[in-house]
Structure 1
Amino acid sequence: MSRVICEFVQGADASLGLPAYATAGAAGADLRANLPDRGRIVLAPGARAAVPTGLRMALEPGFEMQVRPRSGLALRQGLTVANAPGTVDSDFRGEVMVILVNLGADPVGIAHGDRIAQAVIAPVVRAGFVEGVPEGTARGAGGFGSTGIAG
């Protein structure tokens, strides 16, 4: 198990608690909106916002935190993470923000304390990039949809 050290930023509402797994089998821990003045924001259709979590985190070297959408919010309200999955690197020490976008047809309200995304802690493999000529494959240089699998 990887350990993530969390600190509430100045002015954040610590009563919301740290990220937590909703069930024993959950892969992602819930991240909550920690809004100034315990307020609310409304995202119009097509709008996006960096929503604060009120937390600074320190991940162990060799790990990242992937910030992923919550499927229920995406399905019911069209609310998703704009850069899904967002990545928090192990050497980042600023406040974790979740970039949400409203892809739905109606405005979506986000209240202080709402579960807005999930955090998945994952190992990172760093590659060594070298110059050379890649070997050919059956797929070749085919682009999107070039595997021949019907969609």
Structure 2
Amino acid sequence: MMQSIEIKILDKKVGDRWPLPSYATIGSAGLDLRVCIDEPLEIAPNTTVLLPTGLAIHLNDKSLAAVILPRSGLGHKHGIVLGNL
């Protein structure tokens, strides 16, 4: 059963300059979420950086969860981890 969630767009450039989260390929397990920054960013080793997505979500159904995970080993290859892991 497909459930709906509320999405609040926090940055007006989302959907215009930056795409909304979307499935990259047929059969993808999850949506690709992109960072919303105007300039390229270099992250120095052993530093912590919070990156904006421009979005907020509300899951009204307590049986649902939203999880952000690294994709395709890219984070592992470059030593980038998410703060929620």
Query: TM-score normalised by the shorter chain: which range applies?
Result: 0.7 to 0.9
Runs of 4 or more, structure 1, over 6 Å off, are none
Query: What 5-or-longer segments of structure 1 have no aligned partner?
Result: 85-151
Question: Do residues 6 (structure 1) and 2 (structure 2) align?
Answer: no
Question: Do residues 66 (structure 1) and 67 (structure 2) align?
Answer: yes
Letter in structure 2 aligned against 1:29: L
The size of the alignment, in residue pairs, is 82
Task: Give the counterpart of 1:18 among 20, 24, 27.
Answer: 20
Measured against aligned partners, the alpha-carbon deviations of 1:49-90 in whole angstroms (never above 9, x if no partner) come to: 110000122223121101111133224322221322xxxxxx
- The equivalent of 2:30 in structure 1 is 28
What TM-score, normalized by structure 1, do the two folds share? Answer: 0.47
**Is the Cα contact below 8 Å between 1:73 and 1:80 reproduced in 2?**
no
Percent of paired sites with the same residue: 32
User: How well do the aligned residues superpose, as a CA RMSD in angstroms?
Assistant: 1.9
Query: What 5-or-longer segments of structure 2 have no aligned partner?
Result: none
**Is the Cα contact below 8 Å between 1:3 and 1:60 reproduced in 2?**
no
Q: Pairwise mapping of residues 1-150 of structure 1 onto structure 2 (< 5 A)?
A: 1-15=2-16, 16-35=18-37, 38-62=38-62, 63-84=64-85
The structure whose residues are more often strand, as a share, is: 1
Rounded Cα–Cα distance in structure 1 between residues aligned with 2:42 and 2:12: 21
Whichever of the two has the greater Rg, that structure is 1
Measured against aligned partners, the alpha-carbon deviations of 1:115-148 in whole angstroms (never above 9, x if no partner) come to: xxxxxxxxxxxxxxxxxxxxxxxxxxxxxxxxxx
**Is the Cα contact below 8 Å between 1:2 and 1:60 reproduced in 2?**
no
